[in-house]
Amino acid sequence: MEASELIRGEVLEGHAARLHQLCLPLLPLADRLPAPQHLALKTAFDLEEGTAPDPLVLGLAVLGLLAEAGTSGLVTCVLDDAQWMDAGSAQVLAFVARRIQSEPVALLFAMRDPDAVPALAALPHLPLSPLTDQEAGSLLAALPHAPLDAEIRHRLIDEARGNPLALLELPRDLGPAGYPSHLDSPVTDLVEQSFQRRFRSLPERTRRLLVLAAAEPLGDTGVLRSAAELDGLAILDVEPAERAELVQVGVHVRFRHPLVRSAIYRLADEAQRRRAHHALARAFDPVHRPDRRIWHQAQAADRPDEHLAGELERLADRARRRGGVAPAAAFLERAAELTPDSVRKADRALVAAQAKHEAGASEQASALLADADAGPLTGAGRARLLRLRGQIAFSLRRDDDAPVLLLQAAEQMAPLDAALARQTALEALWAATGAERNGDAHGIKAVAEAVLRGPAAPPMPQPADLLLDGLATLFTQGQRAAAPLLRAAVDGFRQADDPNWLPVACRAAWDLWDEVALEELATRCVELAREAGTLTFLPLALNFQAVAATYAGRFTAASTMTEQAHALTEAIAGAFVPYAAIVLAAHQGDRGRARALFGQSSRAAADGAGGFVTIVEYATAVLHNGLGEHEAALAPARQAAGRSRLFWSAAALPELIEAAARTGRPELARPALDELAELTEAAGTGWGLGVLARCRALLSDTPGKLYEEAVDRLAGTRVAVQLARTHLLHGEWLLRSGARAQARASLREAHRMFDHMGAAAFATRAARGLRELGDRPTSSSTSVLDALTSQEAHIARLVATGRTSREVAADLFLSPRTIDNHLRNIYRKLGIGSRRQLRERDLGT
């Protein structure tokens, strides 16, 4: 199945442009897919009206479609010249390629430059070297043409430079009399010139018909026939072109090579192109295919036309509702070109740039922004332009430019639209926390100060207003001043029906040391993201949820969440590092797994995702403290805790205090204790105050009462990990103090909790103390899942909850066939034969 070249601007079908060509023969199998996937296909291909399909749901539908086709035998999909593929199709097909596991399906993309399509860049590459002279000679000898003169044959092999297309095409119209004395043009130019010569030799009516075919990239023979008749031609006029092997017209119109289509379209002059587009516009039904009709009318226009520009704008809205952000951007770009009024033209260029950015074409969006910037924009337009520049900078580079641009936009918007100014200010503040490269909070305070100078919250503030003011206050005045605002924001977001700012609200719950709100908001975030179908938003939500589960000691649940986040990030080419898996591995005491994740995150940090530096430092401290290697924990804990409360810095303070206290360096622990007291006392929660009491105990000469206070406070919370760690530290102190009976009770409780969670390193520490007391603790954490791979264990847990293969496949972005294959391996390894037996096993679900 061949993907043909796109003429500039011809991206009208969004996801469906190349995807439609690939899937059209398989659409009868779509009835076998789950309803959401079936609907996604129909909506994307404009077969049914519906809400915009999420790209990943559409990808899962295409994967399922190919898997269904694979039940009848091997399916091989060859997509030639993939460098010309539209971005929507590339995104979906890259997803499919990454998720193929057990299906008898192969996807092969051929392209000139492996980096030409970013969505495909992460797939395995097989570079093809040029043909050797011997191979080129063998190819020429096998071609059905008259023997070439030896000199010409040698020159052709030499100048083709191993390009098989040149060897296939050039001999067709270059013989002893016509072959040039030297080839001083690129091979692709020579091939295109060869196609052009064959085109020029055709009858005039045939040439006109080919221009029509080249101007309509869908290759619909019915449309070509109608357009030809409207232009006074007949479909039979194509026969000379078929004899010249330039095109084949059957059910679909297929050019011999994409270069044929581009050569013909470029060879036509402007008048010929406009004539072709005019005929094609009339060939499309204005009721059922208004997008194609209006688009061709727009391409046929030879002067600005406000009516056409307005029609394109309306079609952009329709395309967006169908999920076609890319075609919406194409419509809007052409609308701007056709707009006669300069003010409106600049405004439409700005709207088109926004659509291009949303479609993932941020570089093209920047070019459109330059067009908008050159026009007479209003003050609001200038502010919107700055905002979009900031959003593009954040998505492309995550550097210091983004928060500055967004802040400037917010300041310009302030007198015009206070609500939008505050939303942009929140974007600026969030960008400032993400732009830092080394985990430092450099620049965040300056942004926060500017935010507080901006428009005040309305009399009836929304949760996002409270969140903005709370975070800005946190970075300028500290926890005590910010806590009431953050608390009000968190309470407001508990009723949220939009996931947009929920991750930031989760961060606010964390700042408040409120594990209940953190878990509730993270769960709500996951639910809303799934309900809305915004699957690209899920990794962040799942990671927050997994962190809450880790702190609650529910490591199995946390592992399930991190596996889902991993499946999703893998499906979207690893665009997000799963920080929850890092924290979980550290608490589990899994040194090998933790170090592998630390290395992955450090590489992400080197690419600009600096926040991961702090996570790795914090997690390293947790890992070494859990192993009892307090000296090794000290340096990373100090580094993470010095990040000025940015994300994980506050969580690192207790690690620093424990490491410093247990290595005899109280002078390092006391400043951290003072900062921890400011944070936790302002929050006033059982989690924060319990951890504070434990840390004070570590530095006290008489810590007994403080440990008891810590246990009492933490026992009323969900942070089981912190309660177990408090029992461990209390028990170790009691053992050193000679209170053996009390030490045994605390250490037994710590060992029981850690063993049940699966926190192996901490459990080993507790067991070590118990052995000093003469006990012989045993572990009960051995799981029937130990024989399975990580993915198999995750699938087993999901199936054990009663999910079907289709439901598990949807969760993990795999096909049901792959899930069933994994289940067969799971049954074999566990010595069982059914789902019922799997549900009877204790899998820690």
Q: Which domain holds residue 384?
A: 378-456
Cα separation, 666 vs 167, whole angstroms: 78
What pLDDT, in 10s, does the model give residues 446-462?
889 999 999 999 999 99
Question: In the listed set 571, 586, 619, which residue is the last one of a domain according to the structure?
Answer: 571
Is residue 412 very low, low, confident or very high in pLDDT (cuts 50, 70, 90)?
Answer: very high
Cα separation, 729 vs 769, whole angstroms: 11
Question: In the listed set 390, 422, 456, which residue is the last one of a domain according to the structure?
Answer: 456
Question: In the listed set 232, 263, 285, which residue is the last one of a domain according to the structure?
Answer: 285
Is residue 279 very low, low, confident or very high in pLDDT (cuts 50, 70, 90)?
Answer: very high
Does 689 lie in the same domain as 648?
A: no
Does 242 lie in the same domain as 217?
A: yes
pLDDT for position 95: 82
Whether residue 313 is contained in a domain is answered as no
Whether residue 233 is contained in a domain is answered as yes
Q: How many domains does the chain have?
A: 7
Does 468 lie in the same domain as 548?
A: yes
Whether residue 834 is contained in a domain is answered as yes
SS3 of 549, please? helix
Residues in the chain: 845
Cα separation, 63 vs 95, whole angstroms: 9
Does 558 lie in the same domain as 465?
A: yes
Please calculate the CA angle 523-526-527 and round it to the nearest 5 degrees: 85
Whether residue 105 is contained in a domain is answered as yes
What pLDDT, in 10s, does the model give residues 734-755?
999 999 999 999 999 999 999 9
What pLDDT, in 10s, does the model give residues 750-771?
999 999 999 999 999 999 999 9
Mean pLDDT computed over 58-82: 88
Cα separation, 433 vs 610, whole angstroms: 9
Residue 519's CATH number: 1.25.40.10
> Quick check: 357 and 329 in contact, CB under 8 A?
no
Strand 105-109 relative to strand 75-79, pairing: parallel
Does 590 lie in the same domain as 548?
A: no
Whether residue 203 is contained in a domain is answered as yes
Checking if the pLDDT of 837 tops 50, the result is yes
Structure tokens at 146: 């008259």
Does 443 lie in the same domain as 386?
A: yes
> Quick check: 3 and 79 in contact, CB under 8 A?
yes
What pLDDT, in 10s, does the model give residues 472-500?
999 899 899 999 999 999 999 988 887 78
> To which H or E segment does residue 629 belong?
none
pLDDT for position 35: 81
Least confident window among 159-173, 428-442, 733-747, 803-817: 428-442
Whether residue 206 is contained in a domain is answered as yes
Q: Bridge partners of 248?
A: 254
Does 605 lie in the same domain as 551?
A: no
Cα separation, 499 vs 530, whole angstroms: 10
pLDDT for position 651: 93
Does 638 lie in the same domain as 561?
A: no
pLDDT for position 535: 59
Mean pLDDT computed over 80-107: 82
Does 777 lie in the same domain as 809?
A: no
